[in-house]
Amino acid sequence: MDQSLGASLTEDGVWLEFTWNQPQSLRHVQITFDTGFHRELTLSASTGVSQRVIRAPQPETVRDYTLLYLDPAGNDWRELVRVQGNHQRLVRHSFDNLQTRALRLHITATNGEAIARVYELRAYA
């Protein structure tokens, strides 16, 4: 069963946002993207199997994204991390302690698919 959260990309991208009633202290964010695990994965170059294997960044995987946070006063969105060219399933970002009431993952491109999928986003103090 597919447990991911998916949304069709628009010209401005798509975003996923978490909000809290009180400011939170954050230092780490971990994101898990879709990397096409529904396809057979193999290290073999045997005929047949290798024709189904994509030997490049998986089309489902989020390629370009920005992680933003809302300042403690709730006035301005500030850029925390900007990534271009991602191909990994699991990405981790660490930064100096910050106080925020909201965290936003803004996705602007995948490696080919029209739908951006996020399996998990975790934020830690």
Please state, for a pLDDT cut of 90, what percent of the chain lies above it: 67
Most confident region among 4-8, 33-37, 82-86, 112-116 by mean pLDDT: 82-86
* Domains parsed from the chain with CATH numbers: 5-124 (2.60.120.260)
Measure the CA angle with vertex 42, ends 41 and 44; round to 5°. Answer: 160
pLDDT tens-digit map of 1-42: 445 556 788 889 999 999 999 999 999 999 999 987 776 666
Distance CA 102, CA 108 (A): 19
Tokens of 86: 């991602």
Edge-first strand listing for the sheet containing 62-70: 5-8, 115-124, 14-33, 90-110, 62-70, 77-83
Per-residue confidence band for 51, with pLDDT thresholds at 50, 70 and 90: low
